[in-house]
Amino acid sequence: MLGDGLAPRALCGGNGAPWRGPVTRRGPAMSIYLVTGASSGIGREMAKQLAGDGHTVYAVARRKEALDELAKEAGGRVVPFVCNVTYRDAVHSICLALPTLPDYVILNAGIGRFEPSRGFDFRIHEDTFATNYFGAIHFVDELLPKFIERKSGTFVAVSSLAARRGLPRIAAYGASKAALTWAFESMRAQYSKHGVGFVTVHPGFVDTPMTTGQKGMMFLWPVQRAARHILKRLHKGALDISFPLGMRLITGLLRLLPARLHLALAKRI
Ligand SMILES: NC(=O)c1ccc[n+]([C@@H]2O[C@H](COP(=O)([O-])OP(=O)(O)OC[C@H]3O[C@@H](n4cnc5c(N)ncnc54)[C@H](OP(=O)(O)O)[C@@H]3O)[C@@H](O)[C@H]2O)c1
């Protein structure tokens, strides 16, 4: 059976109560995290901060050298797992290889490519959903039965404020993030009674390799601030972590606009 090699953690809660917050509240101060997309940007910074706070981090990404460097920097608390999350079999293999079932699974690996202003690129849609949506869902598929059995565990999806309303040239990116948010909200409602949490994260612009060279990034946050904010809110038991306030307000307003007004504004971007 999948993930049979995973040892349950003795002190992770697991009292059968509905999910009300992070396991660290009920269990040990030091938790085990799996972070995807840990070789760069927000994922790398979260992994670094978690390890610095004394937690153990299973760091997942494709670039081995980058993961090894992170592990070296983090002084033994980061365990690298080289994996392309778009492949279900690869995710299955690393989940079998995890020394212990994690408390938190932070599904952060993502890609964001601008689409051509003329024509249509099917491949961008396919690749973006393979990474941003299925790359996260593969881990849910593998680990949810184990979390249900243990009666604790938290999945965290790093979505985006770009999921709030359609904008030009990011149809695939916005759609993949909206799908992820929607799936997580549904699963949150379905599985909280089993003690399993589903947290959504909606960042605005964060200064990482993904945004390097982009223009017009309003309310841009340094990556350290974004990672610290996500982890702080996660540990306080937030169900949704959206930031910064300025972008939250703008995207919230966009969401409320009737279609014609949205079109008039969005086509100018
Ligand atoms: N930066 C922003 O402004 C912003 C805003 C909103 C949301 N986000 C979201 O935040 C997350 C992190 O973004 P970031 O800005 O930190 O980007 P980044 O620096 O480009 O990092 C992306 C990470 O995803 C990993 N990744 C990509 N494809 C993968 C695959 N097939 N298998 C395994 N790992 C893969 C990359 O590692 P490898 O290349 O080593 O595999 C890398 O570690 C993404 O989901 C992004 O959509 C970012």
Average pLDDT rounded to a whole number, residues 205-226: 96
Is it the case that residue 23 has pLDDT exceeding 50? no
Q: How far is CA 220 from CA 13, 46, 204, 223, 226, in A?
A: 37, 17, 7, 9, 10
Average pLDDT rounded to a whole number, residues 168-194: 98
The answer to whether the Cα torsion of 97, 103, 105, 106 is positive or negative is negative
Which residue did the predictor score with more confidence, 82 or 6? 82
Task: For a ligand 1 pocket test, name from 34, 35, 40 the mutation site with the most ligand atoms within 8 angstroms of its C-beta.
Answer: 40
Q: What are phi and psi of 174, to 5 degrees?
A: -60, -40
Instruction: Please give the distance, rounded to the nearest whole angstrom, from the Cα atom of residue 82 to the centre of ligand 1.
Output: 15
Question: Which pLDDT band, with edges at 50, 70 and 90, does 14 fall under?
Answer: very low
Question: What's the predicted TM-score (pTM) here?
Answer: 0.93
Average pLDDT rounded to a whole number, residues 150-177: 98
What's the mean per-residue pLDDT of the chain? 91
Instruction: Please give the distance, rounded to the nearest whole angstrom, from the Cα atom of residue 37 to the centre of ligand 1.
Output: 5
pLDDT of residue 75: 87
DSSP 129: I
Q: Which domain holds residue 236?
A: 28-266
- The count of other CB atoms within 10 Å of the CB of residue 146 is 20
Q: Among residues of the chain, what percentage have pLDDT more than 90?
A: 87
pLDDT of residue 269: 85
Average pLDDT rounded to a whole number, residues 32-44: 98
Known catalytic residue: 173? yes
Tens digits of per-residue pLDDT, 68-109?
999 999 989 999 999 999 999 999 999 999 999 999 999 999
Residue 2 amino acid letter: L
Which CATH number covers residue 202? 3.40.50.720
The answer to whether residue 18 is domain-embedded is: no
The answer to whether residue 174 is domain-embedded is: yes
Q: Using an 8 Å Cβ cutoff, are 44 and 70 in contact?
A: yes
CA distance 37 to 111: 10
The answer to whether residue 3 is domain-embedded is: no
The answer to whether residue 22 is domain-embedded is: no
CB-defined site of ligand 1, < 6 Å: 36-43, 61-63, 66, 84-86, 108-112, 131, 135, 158, 160, 203, 205-206, 208-211
The answer to whether the Cα torsion of 221, 225, 226, 229 is positive or negative is negative
Is it the case that residue 264 has pLDDT exceeding 80? yes
| Ligand 1 atom with minimal separation from the 63 CA | 40
CA distance 123 to 195: 38
Tens digits of per-residue pLDDT, 220-257?
999 999 999 999 999 999 999 999 999 999 999 999 99
Q: What are phi and psi of 38, to 5 degrees?
A: -90, 0
Which residue did the predictor score with more confidence, 201 or 4? 201
The answer to whether residue 2 is domain-embedded is: no
The answer to whether residue 6 is domain-embedded is: no
pLDDT of residue 2: 31
Number of domains in the chain: 1
The answer to whether residue 158 is domain-embedded is: yes
The answer to whether residue 49 is domain-embedded is: yes
CA distance 54 to 32: 10
